[in-house]
Amino acid sequence: MLKLPSLSDLDAALRVKLYLYTEPTDMRKGFDGLIALAQQVHQRDFWDGSLFLFLGRRRDRMKILYWDKDGPALWYKRLEAGTFRWPAPNRQSGVPEGSLCITASELAMLLDGIDLRRIKRAKRYVPLRPPTTASISAHTPPSPSPPPPSPSPSPPSPPGNAGLGA
């Protein structure tokens, strides 16, 4: 069966948490200041592999802080035009005030200039339980029967009798 990727498949492939600090951040802060802010606001261990996103007051600059095997790494983006638009913070369980947990697909949309406040998912069917192999095979049409064997060719005529009639 063909399986096309979905946003949830793409999000699951990243296997890290992404935390967006929703308050404007002083973009002059370096590694130590952002690490302290990540631990204080997000209440997370900086060294667990999570990505911490910080946006400047004008929302045209973003820093992403993360631990990279042997030390902290900082990614910095400045927009020449426009602003980053993230969703309004809603109270998520386990996420402290001033912090927003986002998915990898939401980060990709944010970096591509999509306004996350205006995205609305259309209603989709959600099965009560996932299909089993038996239910899938019950709906699979039977495979066609193999073609009948072809008749074997007639044996060749002896060489001296070719073309002679009876």
| pLDDT, position 47 | 83
Q: Could you tell me which residue, 144 or 111, shows the higher pLDDT?
A: 111
Please say if the pLDDT value at position 56 is more than 70: yes
Separation CA 65–CA 72 (nearest Å): 7
Which tens digit of pLDDT belongs to each residue from 106-137? 898 888 888 888 877 788 788 887 666 655 55
Check: CB of residue 75 under 8 Å from CB of residue 81: no
Please say if the pLDDT value at position 60 is more than 50: yes
Give the pLDDT band (50/70/90) at residue 73: very high
| pLDDT, position 7 | 80
| pLDDT, position 144 | 57
pTM of the predicted model, to two decimals? 0.65
Please say if the pLDDT value at position 74 is more than 80: yes
Residue 42 in any domain: the answer is: yes
Measuring CA to CA, which residue among 48, 60, 40 is closest to residue 18? 48
How many domains does the chain contain in total? Answer: 1
Residue 46 in any domain: the answer is: yes
Q: Show the domain range for 82.
A: 8-111
| pLDDT, position 9 | 81
Residue 21 in any domain: the answer is: yes
Instruction: Kindly state the average pLDDT of the residues 64-82.
Output: 93
Instruction: Kindly state the average pLDDT of the residues 39-65.
Output: 88
Residue 134 in any domain: the answer is: no
Residue 102 in any domain: the answer is: yes
Residue 144 in any domain: the answer is: no
Instruction: Kindly state the average pLDDT of the residues 58-85.
Output: 93
Residue 153 in any domain: the answer is: no
CA atoms within 13 A on the CB side of 72: 17
Residue 81 in any domain: the answer is: yes
Give the pLDDT band (50/70/90) at residue 45: confident
